Structures are given as C-alpha cells and as structure tokens.
Amino acid sequence: MLIVDDDQALLEMVSECLASAGYLPLQAANGLDGLKKLDSNAPDMAILDINMPELDGLQTCRLIRAKEKFRSLPILMLTGRGDIKDMIEARKMGADDYLVKPFEPSVLIEKIERLFQR
Amino acid sequence: MKHSSYLESLIGPSGDVSPLRSILFDGVTGLPTLPLVIESLKDVASEQNRIGIIFVDTTGLEPLEQEHGWESLDALLNQVRVFLDSVVARFAPLKLFSIHRVSGDDFILVLSSSDSSIPVSNSQVAEVSSNLQDLLNDYLCLKMPASLLPFARVFSGHALLEYSTNLRFERLLSRSINKAFQIAVSQQLRARETHVHELHEIVNSDRIRTLFQPIVSLENLADVLGHEALSRGPEGTLFETAEFMFTLAAQSGILHRLENVCQLQLLSILQKSSSSKLIFVNLEPSFLEQDLYQRLALFQHEDLDRQNLVLEITERIAITDYEIVAKSLEAIRKLGFRIAVDDVGSGYASLQSIAYLKPDFIKISEKMVQGISKDFIKQEIVKTLRDMGGRFSATLIAEGIEDEKDLHTLQELKVQFGQGFLLKRPDERLLG
C-alpha cells in the first residue's frame, strides 16, 4: 500500500493503521517520490494526500493514471477540505474514493476494503 | 513514416513517456507532429508534384471531457483517428501519408498517391474530404452521449498543395493548411446560419412543446412532490435537446423571445390544470441581471398559487456576481416563489457558494447521479450535499435517475426526492 503525504505525522499514523489491519505500508513524502516507488514496488493501492508542495496529489493521480499498467490501480485521495469542487476534481483526475481529514482509522480501513472488493 | 532508428533510440520505445517523445509525438494519439515528418513530406511532394491536405475541424467535443473525464475524450479522439485511417483507405490510389492532431481536437490529414503515375487531383481530395465529413458525423452519432450530440459536429476542408521550388516548402504547406482550415470554418458558419434560421421559424410559429417530468419521493415512489416543466423544440430536430436550443437562442439574440413563447405556453397549461402540486420552472440566469420583474410578472397571475411555483436557477450563477444574485433571489422570495438550485455537482459552484444562496431545494445534477452506485466519490459528494442541505432545511432532489442500482444507492444515502426516466417519463399532460 503506497501512501504519499508530506505530513510525516500523518504518514506514520496511516502506516500504523494500515499495518494493524494487515496491510504492508510503503511511505513516500511527496508526489515524485511516490511515482518512483510506485514504479519499483507495484503496490496494490495508492493513498494520496491532495495538498502537497510541488507535485500535488491531483497531479500525481493524473500521472499515475496516464500509465497503462496503473489504469485500474485503486486510488484513494486524502484531503483537509470536504468541498464538492475538490471531490469533482479528484474524480476527473481518476481517483476512486475520497476521505476528508481528520478521519477515524476504521473509516479508512472500511474504504480500503470497499475499494478492493470492487 | 521514416524516422531513423537513431531517432528511435533517442526517444525510447513507444508507450514510454520521455520529454523528447512528448515533443515529437502527440501524447494522446501517438501521432507524429508535423515538424517530425516535414522532410519526408517534402520528398513525397517533390516526387509526386502534388499532395492533398484535409483539415478536419471537430466542434463540441469538449463537453465530453467536462462531463465524462479526459479519458473519454482521449478515447474518442483515438477512435476518430483510427476511423480517419479506414475511411481514406477506401479511396485508393489515394493514401494517407500522415495524420496530425492540432489544437486539441482537430486533425490535419496529408494525402499522397500510392501510384506515382496517378498524381493526387483536387477533385479526389475534395471527394475524400466531403465523405469524411459525412461519415465522421454519422460516427459521432454512434459515439457521443445523446445529450451532447447536437453540439458535436465535424467540418472538413481541403486543399491541394502543388510543389514548387520557388517557395519554401514550409510556406507552401502552411498556405495549404490554412486554405483547408478556412473552408472548414466557412462550412461551420453556414451550418450555424441554417440552425439559427430554423430556430427563428420555430419561435415565430410557437412550435415549442412543454413536458412535465414528475418528481417523486424516493421512499415511496408513488408519492409525487411536483413536476418540472421542460420546454422542448419539435420532435426529431436538434432542438429537442433543450440545452442546444437555449444556447443557440442566447448566442443569436432571441433568448427572450424564446423564453416568452415557452412561458406563455406553460401558463396556458397551468391555468387549465387542477394540479395542486409544485411546479418547477427553469429561470435563465441572465434574467437575474435584467428583466427579472418582467419575467416574474408573467407568473403573478391571479389563477396561480405562487407558493406552488419553484424557480430553478443553475448552480453556475453561484460563481457570478454574488450581490446581483443575492438581490434577485431576495426579490423572488418576497414575491412568494420558492427557489431551487439546479445542476448541483456539475463542477462550477463550491459548497460554500451554494450554501450562500440558501435554496429551498437542491437538485443534484444527473452527471452526479448516473453511475453513483459504482462511484464512491459521487456517493461522498451526495453525502456532503445531504449534510449541508440538512443544515438549512433544503430538500434534496436527484435528477436523471435511469438505473435501478443508482436508485438504490440514492435511497441508501437518504436522498428524499428524485426524477428520471426510471421513475416516470416526462409527459405532455400535467397529472395529479
């Protein structure tokens, strides 16, 4: 499970939450790092924070989708804002689900499982 | 196409996105850019004396990207490109030398002859061009969603490039492309004039139909909240798509006349009807800025109960001038009408700007509704709207419900009301 966020504390929190649910977390601190790790590790899902400096989550998402082999990779976006405009933008870029921070770990795991079931 | 293996080694294999490849090849279709082939183009032109140029101008494809995402538009452009190939193949000995995608959704085709003893002629190129135009328009009919179809048209123009050593080849080429482009554009203008003329005729002869689409409770589908009044052009014409009719009317300066015809017809039906349910009427956003009272005066008829009239304004106005919009809505409320914000979720307005309008009803765009059962983000958006609506007691209405699974998802999300072909089709009669 690739998780990309520039906020180290959140990165740790999500990683812990994923690990306790039996998933193997793979951390990346920014969009470019995320893209590199995606290529070399081929994870089963990508969790991207939208607000990141330089390459943000939306741009990263679009770049991931531009690659043939990642067309159907489940992508979950994390964001501090729950506005419909941002959600629509995330959909356009090819994301599959959207989660507003702060969130309960159980909600994150629920969303991940739902994405895998699809 | 000739490009050396050296070049191939420099730009990497296809499918790989290197900066050099993205300069030389179109990222969407994989087609080469003109500069890449210009030398080989020059060779063939000097060898055969003449080459044909066709400019394929597609219009109205952008909404596909807005509504269905960039993948849809890219997929369509790729299909069109493959289709162009197969059409030209029918016109041997003409052959497609190369295709290039320009300015987003247009294509330039270069035609040469596969038999050097039969050079390309102007009439042949003209024939291919006009065939392409017809076939591509038929093709778009199959590929575009019905609601976007009236906007999607293809126009093509052609030119013959006669090789000459007196002029730089690049200049010859750009002249020919420009000539082909001008022809395509003039075709487009002519088509438009015809449409405007048709619309004038429709307005002058009152050939507008008013349909009523029931809005029902999603908890109990037999329970009707009211009807949305829909104005449509004559059956079997492009004007059956309301958006096309109103857009063209606005562009050609007869929007007010069209609105008058539509509203007078609606009024005459309402006066004869005994329905006590709500009537949702679309209000053109431009009327909020001018002629609002004149427009509303039509509805202040003594036979009509204003409390039953809900004026729908599109969410797009939420991004225009706040003060004018707020003032107009206040005036509408004072007169006793209720307000619905339409098309919510089509991507123009933010949550905050919708909340600012404090509507009585929030109508969720069909773009948000269709496919919601499989789309987690759409579900998230509807939840957000529901929670916001709850805060100022706005009633949620889902538009364009056409699928059982979507209906179930909306019911699970506790959306109160809905409309759409699955529930009830629009009808000329106002029932209930």
Whether B374 sits inside 8 A of A118 (CB atoms) is yes
Q: Which residues of chain B make contact with A94, given a CB cutoff of 8 A?
A: 69, 71
Query: How far is the C-alpha of B111 from the C-alpha of B99, rounded, in Å?
Result: 9
> By the CB < 8 Å criterion, does B380 face chain A?
yes
pLDDT band at B1 (very low <50, low <70, confident <90, very high): very low
Report the complex ipTM.
0.91
pLDDT at B167 over 60: yes
Whether B351 sits inside 8 A of A84 (CB atoms) is yes
Give percent above pLDDT 90 in chain B. 50
Query: How far is the C-alpha of B297 from the C-alpha of B260, rounded, in Å?
Result: 12
| Residue (of B364, B432, B424) closest to B394 by Cα position | B364
Residues 6+ apart with CB under 8 A from B104: B62
pLDDT at B432 over 60: no
Chain B contact probe: residue of A84, A91, A103, A118 with most B CBs at under 10 A: A84
Q: What is the pLDDT of residue B28?
A: 75
pLDDT band at B130 (very low <50, low <70, confident <90, very high): very high
Whether B376 sits inside 8 A of A68 (CB atoms) is no
Query: How far is the C-alpha of A61 from the C-alpha of A54, rounded, in Å?
Result: 14
Q: Which residues of chain B make contact with A83, given a CB cutoff of 8 A?
A: 350-352, 384
What is the rounded average pLDDT for all residues in chain B? 87
> By the CB < 8 Å criterion, does A97 face chain B?
yes
From chain A residues 49-68, the ones with a CB under 8 A of any chain B CB are 65-68
Q: What is the DSSP secondary-structure string of chain A? A: -EEE-S-HHHHHHHHHHHHHTT---EEESSHHHHHHHHHHH--S-EEEES--SSS-HHHHHHHHHTSGGGTT--EEEEES---HHHHHHHHHTT--EEEESS--HHHHHHHHHHHHH-
* Assigned token pair, B69: 């995402």
Beta strands B361-364; B338-344: pairing state? parallel
Whether B380 sits inside 8 A of A68 (CB atoms) is no
Q: Give the residue from chain A lying closest to B17, CA to CA.
A: A67
Q: What is the pLDDT of residue B187?
A: 94
Average pLDDT over residues B365-389: 94
User: What does each C-alpha distance from B275 to B190, B203, B229, B269, B361 come to in angstroms?
Assistant: 45, 28, 13, 11, 20
Q: Which residues of chain B make contact with A115, given a CB cutoff of 8 A?
A: 376
For residue range B206-246, what is the model confidence (pLDDT) as tens digits? 999 999 999 999 999 999 999 999 999 999 899 998 889 99
For residue range A16-55, what is the model confidence (pLDDT) as tens digits? 999 999 999 999 999 999 999 999 999 999 999 999 988 9
pLDDT at B41 over 70: yes
> Mind spelling out the 3-state secondary structure of chain B?
CCCCHHHHHHHCCCCCCCHHHHHHECCCCCCECHHHHHHHHHHHHHHHCEEEEEEEEEECCHHHHHHHCHHHHHHHHHHHHHHHHHHHHHHCCEEEEEEEEECCCEEEEEEEECCCCCCCCHHHHHHHHHHHHHHHHHHHHHHCCCCCHHHCEEEEEEEEEECCCCCCHHHHHHHHHHHHHHHHHHHHHHHHHHHHHHHHHHHHCCCCEEEEEEEEECCCCCCEEEEEEEEECCCCCHHHCHHHHHHHHHHCCCHHHHHHHHHHHHHHHHHHCCCCCEEEEECCHHHHCCCHHHHHHCCCCCCCCHHHEEEEEEHHHHHCCHHHHHHHHHHHHHCCCEEEEEEECCCCCCHHHHHHHCCCEEEECHHHHCCCCCCHHHHHHHHHHHHHHHHCCCEEEECCCCCHHHHHHHHHCCCCEECECCCECCECCCCC
Q: Which residues of chain B make contact with A82, given a CB cutoff of 8 A?
A: 351, 384
> By the CB < 8 Å criterion, does A72 face chain B?
no
Query: How far is the C-alpha of A13 from the C-alpha of B41, rounded, in Å?
Result: 59
> By the CB < 8 Å criterion, does B19 face chain A?
no
Q: Give the residue from chain B lying closest to A112, CA to CA.
A: B376
Q: What is the pLDDT of residue B215?
A: 97
Residues 6+ apart with CB under 8 A from A47: A1, A2, A3, A4, A14, A75, A76, A77, A78
Whether A83 sits inside 8 A of B351 (CB atoms) is yes
> By the CB < 8 Å criterion, does A84 face chain B?
yes
Query: How far is the C-alpha of B118 from the C-alpha of B120, rounded, in Å?
Result: 7
Shortest distance between the Cα of A7 and any Cα of chain B, in A, equals 23
Nearest CB among B71, B374, B377 relative to A87 is that of B377
Nearest CB among A83, A89, A114 relative to B376 is that of A114
| Sign, Cα dihedral of B149, B150, B152, B153 | positive
Of A5-9, A62-66, B132-136, B287-291, which range is least confident?
B287-291
* pTM for this entry: 0.80
Residues 6+ apart with CB under 8 A from B340: B280, B310, B311, B312, B313, B359, B360, B361, B362, B363, B397
Nearest CB among A68, A84, A115 relative to B385 is that of A84
Query: How far is the C-alpha of B245 from the C-alpha of B250, rounded, in Å?
Result: 9
Shortest distance between the Cα of B70 and any Cα of chain A, in A, equals 7
Shortest distance between the Cα of A69 and any Cα of chain B, in A, equals 11
Q: Which residues of chain B make contact with A59, given a CB cutoff of 8 A?
A: none
pLDDT band at B146 (very low <50, low <70, confident <90, very high): confident
From chain B residues 54-83, the ones with a CB under 8 A of any chain A CB are 69-71
Query: How far is the C-alpha of B219 from the C-alpha of B221, rounded, in Å?
Result: 6
| Residue (of B50, B44, B55, B84) closest to B160 by Cα position | B50
- Identity at B299, one-letter amino acid code: F
* Assigned token pair, B3: 């490009």
Query: How far is the C-alpha of B372 from the C-alpha of A106, rounded, in Å?
Result: 23
Whether B352 sits inside 8 A of A114 (CB atoms) is no
